Structure 1
Amino acid sequence: MLIVHDEFDVDDDPARIDRDAVWAYLSTDAYWGRWRSRAVVEQQVSGAWRVVGMYERQTGRMVGFARALSDGLALAYLADLYVLEEARGRGLGKELVRAMIDLGPGAAFRWMLHTKDAHGLYKQFGFEPPDDTYLERRAKTA
């Protein structure tokens, strides 16, 4: 799938993902990802059900990324979505979310995610606080 957005392309081809760019962002800028090693990030990207990248059309540089975990049938988890600081403010985050959850094979799935600061973005796509049927076991700390 290739979606054109102004001067950017959104693509779900896993071979096109710039893993160095993903590592650079998650290891330095992502409050949720700095604890991971390069090997962990590589394994997460490789094992993802789906990955989506946002690319500058002129240069091919990846400026945004998202990955998802899924059973491939009914349930998916959105993770590691980001847009580089210099590319923000143009609706690219919305395009990444839309490409991942509305335009892909999981459009009818139940989607989950965690965020500390992007509630407004995800609310536009129907994300809301869980109902009373949802429980979560948080990660154990050492």
Structure 2
Amino acid sequence: MDIDFDDDRARVQRDAVWRWLSTEAYWGGWRTRDDLEAQLDSAWRVVGVYRRDTGEQVGFARAVSDGVGFAYLADVYVVGEHSGRGARAAHALAHDRRGSGRGLPLGALHPRRAQPLRAVRLRGSR
């Protein structure tokens, strides 16, 4: 099954992100839906992971940053059979060669099960 990584904020399926983070994420249980909405709105970058055949969102990552020298990666997940591809979304957030992310080092990621980061191309990236 093919998947796409996309950094279009408008494509993020907020209900899907909320559902996963509020029920599955060991780190996400403290926040309210309003908290998550504020975090999504103020994120420096977001990347959704989508099934190509259905458009269903199956993963997500967001980053906060000062835009100059530091980016903190947060809320990285990929569901079920797509697991293992979350690191690619994280890499896309940290190392996309377009726009303000160009060359900015990834500052921190603290998952229990970190996967190696691998290069991925965002749709429309050069």
Instruction: With the length of structure 1 as denominator, give the TM-score of the two structures.
Output: 0.74
2:88, 2:70 → 1: CA distance?
Answer: 21
Q: Would you say the 8 A contact 1:74–1:106 is kept in 2?
A: no
Summarize the alignment of residues 2-21 of structure 1 with structure 2, pairs less than 5 Å apart: 7-21=2-16
**Larger-Rg structure:** 1
Equivalent residue, structure 2, for 1:92: 85
Could you list the per-position Cα deviations for residues 69-121 of structure 1 after superposition, in whole angstroms to 9, with x for gaps in the alignment?
Answer: 01112211100000012322xx41232122111225425223223424124x2
Unaligned segments of structure 1, at least 5 residues: 1-5, 126-142
1:112, 1:102 → 2: CA distance?
Answer: 12
Which of 87, 90, 94 is 1:101 aligned to?
94
* Count, aligned residues: 116
1:36 aligns with 2:31: yes
Which of 55, 62, 77 is 1:67 aligned to?
62
Identity, in percent, stands at 47
Change (3 A) 1:116 1:64: closer
Q: Would you say the 8 A contact 1:70–1:77 is kept in 2?
A: yes
Q: Would you say the 8 A contact 1:76–1:106 is kept in 2?
A: no
Q: Would you say the 8 A contact 2:43–2:64 is kept in 1?
A: yes
Could you list the per-position Cα deviations for residues 34-62 of structure 1 after superposition, in whole angstroms to 9, with x for gaps in the alignment?
Answer: 11100000110011011000000110000
1:114, 1:70 → 2: CA distance?
Answer: 13
1:82 aligns with 2:77: yes
1:50, 1:114 → 2: CA distance?
Answer: 15
More contact order relative to length (CA 8 Å, sep ≥ 6)? 2
Q: Would you say the 8 A contact 1:7–1:57 is kept in 2?
A: yes
Unaligned segments of structure 2, at least 5 residues: 119-126
2:20, 2:102 → 1: CA distance?
Answer: 27
Instruction: Spell out structure 1 runs of 4+ moving beyond 3 A.
Output: none
